[in-house]
A and B are shown apart, each in its own frame.
Chain A
Amino acid sequence: MTKSLFYSISFHALMIALTVLSLPFMIRQPVDLPPIISVELIQISDKTNIPFAPKARKVIEKVKEEEKRVVSEQAPPAAKAKEKPDRIPLPQDQKEKKEIVKKKQNPEEVKPEIRQASEFEKKELVDTNQIAALIDKAKEESAKVEKQDNKLTQSSVKNSFATGLTLSEEDALRAQIFGCWTVPLGLPYDDNLLVRIKLELKQDGTISKSEILDHERMNRPGQKFYKVLAESALRAVRICQPLKVPQTGYEKWKNIQLNFNPTEMLKG
């Protein structure tokens, strides 16, 4: 009797122990805490420029100070210094121009996808073959050119993080040109109606230089409408001037490209 009681108690105890150990709700997992993320609150200003990081600010200020010192040591820039540094004709440039002229003479050779690089675009192109020539030239040039380079660097540093106009500035400009542009009505709806015009603006918003990109298309057979369209776009810009441009940041919007495309409007 005592023996059977002992067996019963020990088996019951074993069963209770197994139950306690094997049931999942009895196991307590440790709480998983997410990693702590630090958040820096930034106040958004009108210009929505990202502020410089403290380290970068120090570096920039150091550079500025150095440059200020350099500028103050040099003589004030002469009136001629305003000329663009890349006006000096390079042998490679001349070659390039000659090639373009050849293409013009034979319009059949010009494929639709090839577009003639404008003066503006040529500036932006970086040709590694030309760099050595540029360096050699730069050695021979006077300090005037160097000064201009420095000048560009200064202003670039100031606005290096700011590109383009703000949305409201862009809208104002767009709305102004909408009003001036009389769209010619005899346009074929299914053709490519994009006209790109590059402008160089003065500080008051008047145009110092205007150029129709893809202008070789105007003389192609069957593209009479393109000439009319391009002329209407150019007329619109001229009628509109002075353009509504921001009072500050001239360097940002000095060169601007307007893409005229009436396709959506004509198709309704």
Chain B
Amino acid sequence: MKKLFFILVIFFNFNYAYSLIEVDITRGNLDPLPIAVSPLHVDAQSDNLQDIKVKELGDLISSVIESNFKSTGLFNPLNKDAFVQKPDIAHLKPRFEDWSLITAQALVTGKILIKDNKLKVEFRLWDVAAAKEMVALAFTTTPTNWRRVAHIISDKIYERLTGETGYFDTRIIYVSETGPKTQRVKRLAIMDQDGVNVKYLTLGNELVLTPRFNPTNQLVTYLSYFRNLPRVYLLDIETGIQEVVGNFPGMTFAPRFSPDGKKIIMSFAENGNSDIYTMDLESRLVEKITDHSAIDTSPSYSPDGKYICFNSDRSGLQQIYTMNSDGTNVKRISFGDGIYGTPVWSPRGDLIAFTKVRAGRFYIGVMRSDGTGERLLTENFYQEAPSWSPNGRLLVFYRETKSGNDGEGFTAKLWSIDITGYNERQIKTETDASDPSWSTLLSK
């Protein structure tokens, strides 16, 4: 009887408990995340170096990190003047109240030590609201590498806060252009993704076109005209050694590496008909992939290497097609107005970037690999050649604009844009620039 009574009491107690209130939050703000990058504290025991001002290094590294974050459009680095806590103490134990007072949601602190000609950099990322450490790492390198360390730190923080891999420790290769349009001098140039550390790789005697990075290492393939004949070159950026892969007949276009880096895919014209070919870099065997009377150009592999997207005018106007890597199962995927060109498969595999020309205007856009969900990201007088950032988040391309009062001259510059269509910004280069190609992460 007593048991029954207790069962009843418990039963009614459960019944009287409140049903849990649930509130759905389906909106938030898309404002950039406020982040405080405290200058890195320079350890007093650090050695002095002739070339580098050690005391300023902490400020310099934090400035590079800040400008990286600002360029993403996803973060809002807070003004250093508002910081209350000094770097030396902040690195050990931040006073989170002080940082939340200036609305920081994330905080970066760090320490630098130079000993025996080695630079040691420590950094910590803090969640201000939760008052806890999110990530902490230390790097040791030669002091002249401090910029790269700043980029690697930026990558680690970006990855921790967005869930995507970063793209700061990367380089962009492009064609540097100088001189008037009729006598343009074109040289291969390479720089860090933020436009610093520019190096010129060719002298400008020959016309160079379409440099492309190998996805697995720091090799570059490009097209150059030697005595008016197109040649495909391979260039090792680290050693500067170049080699000719082959002389190809007629018009040759846009050589590009396969995802495993073992093949080059390109188009060239044989007997007046342009088709797509691959060349094995080891055996130098050339294989014909498409065989059609139409003009097939601009091939690009999917990241898994199973498919190829390319241009073709087999339907009348130039459109984008996909096919298996052996040339079978050709499918047209673009059906909009205008003509489509330069398709490039995203490193994530989900999207294909392209250039579209409609009514005399040029657009850079993306579509899914099955051709659905076409989105035009940016429109201008003349722009083309999109190239993906290694995380598939950004596109870099070049844009020509008329200059001079009567529009008689023109300038070509590199621009980047987020796949959302936001955060379009110019990448500053010393000279005019075209045909950019984004490398993979240098430190994997």
Which residues of A are interface residues toward B (Cβ below 8 A)?
120, 124, 126, 131-132, 134-135, 138, 149, 152-153, 156-157, 159-160, 163-165, 170, 173-174, 177-179, 181-187, 198, 224-229, 231-236, 238-239, 251-253, 255-265
The CA of A157 and the CA of B130, in the complex, are separated in Å by 38
Cross-chain contact A134 with B10 (CB below 8 angstroms): yes
Cross-chain contact B21 with A165 (CB below 8 angstroms): yes
B102 within 8 A of A: no
Cross-chain contact B23 with A234 (CB below 8 angstroms): no
List 14 extra interface pairs beyond A135-B7, A257-B20, A258-B22, CB under 8 A.
A124-B14, A156-B16, A177-B23, A179-B29, A181-B27, A182-B28, A182-B31, A185-B30, A231-B127, A233-B25, A235-B127, A256-B21, A256-B22, A258-B23
Chain A residues near B16 (CB-CB < 8 A):
152-153, 156-157, 160
Quick one: which of A135, A231, A252 contacts B3, CB cutoff 8 A?
A135
Of listed A124, A126, A131, A184, residue having the most chain B CB within 10 A:
A184
Cross-chain contact A135 with B6 (CB below 8 angstroms): yes
Cross-chain contact A186 with B31 (CB below 8 angstroms): no
Chain B residues near A165 (CB-CB < 8 A):
21, 23
Quick one: which of A152, A173, A186, A235 contacts B13, CB cutoff 8 A?
A152
Chain B residue at smallest Cβ distance from A195: B25
Chain B residues near A257 (CB-CB < 8 A):
20-23
Quick one: which of A163, A170, A198, A228 contacts B163, CB cutoff 8 A?
A228
Knowing A178-B29, A186-B393 touch, does A131 contact B130 (C-beta < 8 A)?
no
Chain B residues near A228 (CB-CB < 8 A):
160-163
CB distance from B122 to the nearest CB of A (A): 23
B164 within 8 A of A: yes
Give residues of chain B (30-81) contacting chain A, Cβ–Cβ below 8 Å: 30-33, 74
Quick one: which of B9, B17, B163 contacts A184, CB cutoff 8 A?
B163
CB distance from B164 to the nearest CB of A (A): 4
Per DSSP, chain A at the interface is helix
Chain B, interface size: which category? 35 or more
CB distance from B36 to the nearest CB of A (A): 14
CB distance from B407 to the nearest CB of A (A): 37
Of listed B23, B105, B160, residue having the most chain A CB within 10 A:
B23
Chain B residues near A164 (CB-CB < 8 A):
19, 21
Q: What are 16 A-B interface contacts by the 8 Å CB criterion?
A: A124-B14, A124-B17, A135-B7, A149-B13, A152-B13, A152-B17, A153-B16, A156-B16, A156-B18, A182-B33, A184-B33, A185-B74, A228-B160, A236-B25, A256-B20, A264-B27
Cross-chain contact B129 with A238 (CB below 8 angstroms): yes
Chain A residue at smallest Cβ distance from B420: A185
Quick one: which of B14, B26, B74, B100 contacts A126, CB cutoff 8 A?
B14
CB distance from A225 to the nearest CB of B (A): 4
Chain A residues near B22 (CB-CB < 8 A):
256-259
Chain A residues near B6 (CB-CB < 8 A):
134-135, 138
Cross-chain contact B26 with A182 (CB below 8 angstroms): no
Chain A residues near B74 (CB-CB < 8 A):
184-186
The CA of A170 and the CA of B28, in the complex, are separated in Å by 16
Cross-chain contact B25 with A177 (CB below 8 angstroms): yes
